Amino acid sequence: MKAHLFNRRHFVRAAGTIVALPALESIGFRRFASAAAKPAARPKRAVFLGFGWGVTEETWMPDKNVTGPDYTLPPGLAPLARHKSDFTVVQGLSNKFANEAHWGSTFWLTGANRYAEPGQSFHNSISVDQAVAERLGGETRFASIQLSSPDGVANGHGPGLSLAWDARGKPLAGLEHPLAAYHRMFSDETLPLAQRRAMLVQKRSVLDAVLADAKRVERGLNKTDADKLDEYFQGVRDIETRLAKDEQWLAVPKAKASLAEPKLGLAGQDEIQLMYDLIVVALQTDTTRVITYRQPVGTLLGSLGLKIAAHDMTHYTTGDRLEASQRRDVAQSQLLAGLLDKLKATKEPDGSSLLDHTVLAYGSNIRTVHYLDNCPMIFAGRAAGLKLGQHVVLPSHTPLCNAWLTLLHGLGVEAGSHGDSTGPVKELRA
Amino acid sequence: MRAGCLLVCVCLCSALAQAAEPVHARLDETQRAFFKDYCAECHGAETQEGKLRLDDISFAIESVEQADRWQKILNQLNSGEMPPEDAKQPARERKTELLDALSQTLAKARKIIGDQGGRITLRRLNQREYRNTIRELLGVAIDVRDLPTDGGTGTFDTVGASLFMSSDQIEQYLALGRRALDESFARASGQQQRFKTREEAEVVGNKRMDGLFQSTKEHHDNYARWAAAVDEAAKRPENLAIAAQLRKKAEKPRPSSGVPYATPLLFYHDWEQLRGAPSPTQFGFQDAQAAFFDELQYKNNFSYYTDYQRLPGRDSGAWLLFYQAYRETYVSAGEKWPAGRYTLRMRVAGNNAAPQERRFIEVGQRGDDVSDFTVLSAHQVTGTLEQPQVIELAVDVSTSGKREYAVREKRPNSRKAEIRSYHDEFEKTGHGPVPAVWIDWFEIEGPQTAEHPAAAWLRAATRDRAGARAVIERFATRAFRGVRPSADYLDRLVALCEARRGMGDSFDDALKEPLSVVLASPSFLYLREPSAEGKNRRLDSFELASRLSYFLWSGPPDDDLLALAASDALQKPAVLAAQVDRMIADDRSRQFTSSFTHQWLGMDRLDFFQFDFKLYRGFDDSTKAAAREEVYQTMSCLLRENLSLRRLLKADFVVINGLLASYYGVDGVSGDAFRKVSLTADSPRGGLLGMAAVLAMGGNGQFTSPVERGAWVLRKLLHDPPPPAPPNVPQLARLEGKILNVRERLRAHQEEPQCANCHRKIDPIGFGLENFDAAGKWRTEDIYQRNGKTRKTWPVDPAAAFYKGPAFKDYFELRDIVESRSDAFAQGYTEALIEYALGRPFGFTDVELATRIVNRARDKDFAMREFIHALVASEAFHSK
């Protein structure tokens, strides 16, 4: 069934997109209004951070023989020491279909088989964040936010525009600069309400016009081309959904970011740090509940004064490359520790911390060099009922998607499976 | 006429389909013994561990499931997990052969299974095409960096299946289109004022330098008087002992500072311990520390400033310094000036006393720091003080970007490099680097007001509904590349315009709304070629015109092409061929030579790392840009002159400008224009293998990488690509921490079958290129150094042999062997061309087409344009 053959607004309802109606009478009094949030039960949030080219295995992975809470943090994770009871390091997870030694993110959250479709050289499926967004995304201004960085291939992420892939396995575009992310989430409309309402009507007419042309273009296309053009229709539907949300949220000002507008041209460490800050503010203001971030690696090295190409660094041997690889690990862990600091320090209205209501996954599909098994994986936060403060070593080649399934269940998403999952991981449950 | 064409097409297609049928991927039966010998014990007739039986497994790989199973087997072998440690192990050679055969067969199988069967997926304009199309349509250059990056799947950015669309993007198209229309309307209205401002260098520069000269001198005089007074006090009997102590302390070398002449001055730091010594404040210094630094400035820089005072031409201009003080001169477009194309102009002269390689300037924009300088262009300074030269270039000033432009002497973009160069020169000659470039003035003027046809399309005959409708229809037809918009669509656009007018917009502003919608509509964004399921169809003339123009220009068809499309004359082979020649001769074909070549040769690697300025001072951003340009310009030259593709493998000429000539040490070339220059017979340059850009990609900015280079040659020149890097191959750790030359290091690759099966083909080619350093300069010695200290050198040994192929004793013989394999090169080039032009991955269904193109080109000694003519004339190019 081609949805766009029907009336578009009909579709918005038909697609079952949950656009919760804000309780209008109360909204004017809430500063960080979240449409349907009741102060009693704080919403759950999920954050996924992917860093492309793996880690320095020898100094990042804890000793496999010491599991449970009393393991020793290796140097690569040392900056996280103050949070040791709030995260869990997991070993033994892999995506069984992963064969591309330079693709650290393409299938990280999906577990798809690149070659599953005959007649195609590339295939992907829905990423776990989008599966979460389907459940958690309806009540916020943005169902999910994709943060990204340019040059995915050079940064060891592989194909894709962000970590996220939609239900049809198409890449979701990411906001590649902190400034763009800031504007998307926090820049306020300055026009008066009546005019904004008129603008909404006008925007709908614009969509009606491009759809009139799209329908003409669609005529006579074969299936492949119609599928391709469907991205455009989907794009229009997404704008439509957003407009519908805008309409509900018209009287609600965008959340105020407790953060100044970022400068242009930040790179590497500063850029990641700022994106992390934006993540905290986005969650705090309930602007969205699902965020992915495809982190830069090349510019991170540059900002650490390391001139080496990111890929070359991963082929480390003792000397400059190993040192670069280790410094990268430490810098990334420091940044993550800073993010955890902030999530802890940010208090929810009920006095609990933001981290209590967030689950955070941090890792890559590449372990180290060209190794794709035993993916580096850290979970933090209490939103998904995961067991924290642990070093968990699972049987080798446990599907990474089993961990995603566990996370989905923990967040209240009743999924039967995700990717190539075979069942949830009980060792990860609190 | 049309029916005839269709008939021919159908016959050809079925013939093609038959010819391309028997393609299979099958592992050679000779490998069967391996599985029987080493796997069958656990995976055989008796036991099938993991439900896998390998002794009688089918060697044909025809389905996704079979490929996945073989992938698993390959992965197990590569990771060393199988055969298990306690089982019988295969001999190294046998395992190498199996891995080689299996990885190649599997790569082939993946290609066959994934073959799209010649299907061209509907494609949208990529970033470049969108930018060019807007420029052709409206005469406006817009910044497209807000659009998401294209590609990233390892294919060309013209491959429709790899180009996506999202809601964000549609909104960006609306916004960018609106921005372009705003600018275009402003230009068309003719209301644009022109602006100009000029900076006189002597006013800024000489004042600065004179001031520095004076103040440094004064500080030094004061310091000398203070030091003399302190010395005087030190002579007092009660101070003698402590003074001796302090002098001894001051002489201690301070290893961390690295600043020369520092030590004796330190004595005066402790003046307070000497009874009766005067305070530095009495001599105008804030404290001893400040006095110390001022004196250090004097010691380090005063001769630099004094030398400056002696330079000629200071009455009318100023000299740009290499280090400190007057590095750059600036000019800014005013804040209120409209966005648009402006002219930057500067009058400059070179200093004959400065080495030739320093007589270059860079025009760019500066960030917060000296080393944060974005180079826009580099220019050779050939003028003299007697006869200065005016350099002119165009820049696009946008509403949001920086408006200040700077000019400076060309240099590595690093503060450290600057300091180092200065001190090296100082140590050698006792003087700082002599200023190389004199500048009289620097100005900006604009915006340029070239009349663009858009001005006519956008003008409404009557400023009412009917007038708006006419403009919208005209504009949409143009934007849709000759295809008229539907009436329903037009009605909606007119209604949009009316609604805006109702909201109080001016006529022009109201008109911009529907026009920006046109620029976000699918008919504009996609190259539409409808076709029935499973059937090929011949393109109509307008579709053909677009396919051709996006192939050769990365932009829309122009008036000539559209006229030929309207009359269907474009379908005539002779007319079409003539258009191809015209389009190649047109400047817009630079879009093809640069974008296609960049992607075909994988040149994005050039930006993956920074070059170590300590080792390669000459390979700065400007040189790198020129080296990159050399590759594109060579392609353009070969196409323009219709020379043989073989000239990319070996040539007796190069296409370079003054900057590269200086880098390569080729005499008699000056100026910024690239041109064909003959080489002497013994030159290693000429052909891709001798190009700095190609050689620099084959390294990491510090060391050469024979692996990168060898793999590149196999992939791009010899059409024998190594399989993708396999996952989970154990890393070689044995050589850690040892200082080894490149051959010693890579010998380890031959020890493990998992490595050897590919590296025995890759590494030897890389060895043959070792005479070029990591920035593409010729060398005879390889140097290992770390932390700036030279540790070890080795003579370069370029002799090696192709795997199961001929040996070569040096680079020149290697190049000859590569050149002799031009058939393979032509095959790879043709496949890339097909993929780029048709916008879909090259598949096994295209083998026949590629063969025909290569054959036709070979008849003309691989003349460059033959490939393009053959492709454009092919059935595939005319079919959807």
Q: What is the pLDDT of residues B365-391, one digit of tens each?
A: 988 777 788 999 999 999 999 999 999
**What 3-state DSSP class applies to B795?**
strand
Residue B787 corresponds to which tokens in the numbers above?
């932390």
Query: Which residue in this structure is represented by tokens 């290129």?
Result: B769
Q: Mean pLDDT over all residues of chain B?
A: 89
Confidence of residue A226 (pLDDT cuts 50, 70, 90): very high
The pLDDT value recorded for residue B111 is 85
Q: Where are the beta strands (DSSP E) in B136-234?
A: 195-200
Q: How far apart are CA B656 and CA B747, in angstroms?
A: 37
Phi and psi at residue A26, to the nearest 5°: -95, -15
Hey, what are A362's tokens?
């941090």
Touching A: B residues 136-195, CB under 8 Å: 146, 148-149, 152-154, 160-162, 164-171, 174
Task: Compare A378 and B459 and report the one with higher pLDDT.
Answer: A378
pLDDT tens digits, residue range B737-756? 667 788 887 887 888 888 88
Distance CA A386, CA B143 (A): 46
B389-397/A358-363 β-pairing: unpaired
B368 to chain A, any CB pair closer than 8 A? The answer is no
Other beta carbons within 10 Å of B28: 13
Comparing CA positions, the residue from B421, B267, B420, B269 lying closest to residue B358 is B421
pLDDT digits (tens, 9 = 90+) for B253-262: 555 444 444 4
Q: Do B148 and A180 touch (CB under 8 A)?
A: no
d(CA B742, CA B765): 13
Residue B567's contacts (CB-CB under 8 Å, 6 or more residues apart) are none
Per-residue pLDDT at A33: 39
Looking at residue A145, its pLDDT comes to 96
Instruction: Give the number of residues written for chain B.
Output: 880
A124-149: pLDDT as tens digits: 999 999 999 998 888 888 899 999 99
Question: In this structure, are residues A94 and A363 in contact, taking their beta carbons and an 8 Å threshold?
Answer: no
| A349 burial type by CB count under 10 A (0-12 exposed, 13-18 middle, 19+ buried) | exposed
Task: Establish if A260 touches chain B: CB-CB under 8 angstroms.
Answer: no
- B537 vs A: CB within 8 A: no
**Contact (CB<8Å) A239/B167:** yes
Residue A242 vs residue A390, higher pLDDT: A390
Q: Which residues pair with B204 in a beta bridge?
A: none
Residues 737-766 of chain B with CB under 8 A from chain A are 737
Looking at beta carbons, which residues of chain A come within 8 Å of B520? 210
User: Which residues lie across from B197 on neighbouring strands?
Assistant: B444
Widest distance between CA atoms in chain A: 66
C-alpha span between B130 and B786 (Å, rounded): 46
Q: Are A300 and A332 in contact (CB under 8 A)?
A: yes
pLDDT digits (tens, 9 = 90+) for B89-124: 998 889 999 999 999 999 889 888 888 778 889 999
- The average pLDDT across A387-416 equals 96
Residue-by-residue DSSP string for A144-169: -EEE--S-TTTTT--SSSSS-B-TTS
- Rounded to 5 degrees, φ, ψ at B743 are -70, -40
Query: Residue B83: is the preceding peptide bond cis (ω within 30°)?
Result: yes
**Confidence class for position B152, pLDDT limits 50, 70, 90:** low
The arithmetic mean of pLDDT across residues A69-77, rounded, is: 96
Q: Which amino acid is at B792?
A: K
Q: What is the ipTM of this complex?
A: 0.83
Give the integer Cα–Cα distance in Å for A381 and A361. Answer: 9
Nearest partner of B633 among B610, B611, B661, judged by Cα: B661
CB spacing of A231 vs B165 below 8 angstroms? yes
* Secondary structure element (H or E) that encloses residue A393, with its range: strand A391-399
**Among the listed ranges A40-44, B109-113, B490-494, B575-579, which one has the minimum average pLDDT value?**
A40-44
B558: left (phi over 0), alpha (psi -120 to 50) or beta: beta
H-type helices in B44-126, by residue range? 64-79, 92-113
DSSP result, B296-330: HHHHHHHHHHHHHHT-S-TTT-EEEPSSSSS-EEE
Strand B404-409 relative to strand B653-656, pairing: unpaired
Residues in chain A: 430
Q: Which two tokens stand for residue A258?
A: 């407790």
B523/A161 touch (CB, cutoff 8 Å), yes or no: no
* pLDDT for A139: 84
pLDDT of the residue at B732: 62
Helix (H) or strand (E) holding B445: strand B437-446
Residue B345 has pLDDT above 80, yes or no: yes
Tell me the pTM.
0.84
pLDDT class of B628 with cuts at 50, 70, 90 = very high
- pLDDT of A306 over the 70 cut: yes
Pair A171, A130: CB distance under 8 Å: no
Work out the number of other CB atoms within 10 angstroms of the CB of residue B744.
12
Residues A227, A168: Cα–Cα separation, whole Å: 10
Report the pLDDT value the prediction gives residue B737, as an integer from 0 to 100.
61
Write down the pLDDT at residue B733: 58
Give the tokens for residue B392: 């002119």
- Nearest residue, CB atoms, B521 vs list A99, A213, A371: A213
User: To the nearest whole angstrom, how far is the Cα of A328 from the nearest Cα of chain B?
Assistant: 15
Asked if B162 and A161 come within 8 Å (Cβ–Cβ), the reply is: no
pLDDT > 60? residue B346 = yes
SS3 B699: strand
Q: What pLDDT is stored for residue B144 in this prediction?
A: 85
- How many angstroms from the chain centroid is the CA of residue A156? 17
Structure confidence at residue A183 as a pLDDT band (50, 70, 90): confident
Q: For residues B659 and B540, what is the distance between their CA atoms, to the nearest angstrom?
A: 47
What pLDDT does residue B11 have? Answer: 38
Interface test with A, best of B166, B415, B509 (most A CBs within 10 A): B166
Q: Cα B759 from chain centroid?
A: 27
Contacts of B33 (CB under 8 A, 6+ apart): none
Band of pLDDT at residue B641, cut at 50, 70 and 90? very high
Which chain A residues are Cβ-neighbours of B533 within 8 angstroms? 222-223
Write the DSSP string, B450-485: ---THHHHT--SSSSHHHHHHHHHHHHHHHTTTPPP
Nearest-CB residue to A121 (from B485, B522, B841): B841
Distance, in Å, from the CA atom of A300 to the CA atom of A377, rounded to the nearest integer, reads 20
One-letter-per-residue 3-state SS of B573-636: HHHHHHHHHHHHHCHHHHHHHHHHHHHHCCHHHHHCCCCCCCCCCCCCHHHHHHHHHHHHHHHH
A204 touches chain B (CB under 8 A): no
Q: Fill in the amino acid letter for B97.
A: E
Mapped to the 3 state alphabet, what secondary structure does B395-433 carry?
EEECCCCCCEEEEEECCCCCHHHHHHHHHHHHHHHCCCC
In whole angstroms, give the CA distance from residue A359 to residue A291. Answer: 11
Q: Is A208 exposed, middle or buried (0-12, 13-18, 19+ CB in 10 A)?
A: middle
Nearest to B764 by CA among B816, B726, B711, B720: B711
Of the candidates A185, A149, A330, the one whose C-alpha atom is nearest the C-alpha of residue A257 is A185
Q: Report the pLDDT value the prediction gives residue B444, as an integer from 0 to 100.
A: 97
Q: How far is CA A417 from CA A15, A379, A404, A406, B65, in A?
A: 22, 20, 9, 10, 21
What was the pLDDT predicted at A313?
83
More confident call, B168 vs B779: B779
- Chain A CB within 8 Å of residue B354 CB: no
Average pLDDT of A196-220?
90
Which H/E stretch holds residue B342? Answer: strand B340-350
> 3-state DSSP call for residue B52?
coil
Cα distance from B521 to chain A (closest Cα, Å)?
5
Q: Amino acid identity, residue B562?
A: L
The residue among B176 and B18 whose pLDDT is bigger is B176
Tell me the HSE value of A283 on the side-chain side, using a 13 A CA sphere: 33
Among the ranges given (A196-200, A260-264, B578-582, B785-789), the one the predictor scored with the smallest mean pLDDT: B785-789
Q: How far is CA B657 from CA B616, B625, B630, B631, B676, in A?
A: 20, 12, 8, 12, 9
Query: Which chain A residue is nearest to residue B518, measuring alpha carbons?
Result: A210
Task: Please choose, from the candidates B430, B432, B431, B428, the residue with its C-alpha nearest in 3D space to the C-alpha of residue B324.
Answer: B432
Tell whether omega for the bond before A253 is within 30 degrees of 0, i.e. cis: no
Q: Looking at A186-190, A303-307, B481-485, B613-617, which range is the least confident one?
A: A186-190
**Given this model, what pLDDT does residue A242 score?**
78
Window from A12-26, A364-378, B258-272, B573-587 with minimum mean pLDDT: A12-26
N-term to C-term CA, chain A: 43
Give me the mean pLDDT over the A301-314 stretch. 85
Strands B800-801 and B807-808: antiparallel
At residue A171, φ and ψ (nearest 5 deg) are -70, 140
Structure tokens at B609: 């790392």
Confidence of residue B851 (pLDDT cuts 50, 70, 90): very high
Output the DSSP codes for A351-382.
Answer: S-BGGGGEEEEEE-S--BTTB-SS--EEEE-S
Task: Look at residue A188 and give its three-state secondary structure.
Answer: coil
**Cβ–Cβ contact A213 with B under 8 A:** yes
**pLDDT given for residue B79 in this prediction:** 82
Count CB atoms within 10 A of the CB of residue B533: 9
CB spacing of A216 vs B523 below 8 angstroms = yes
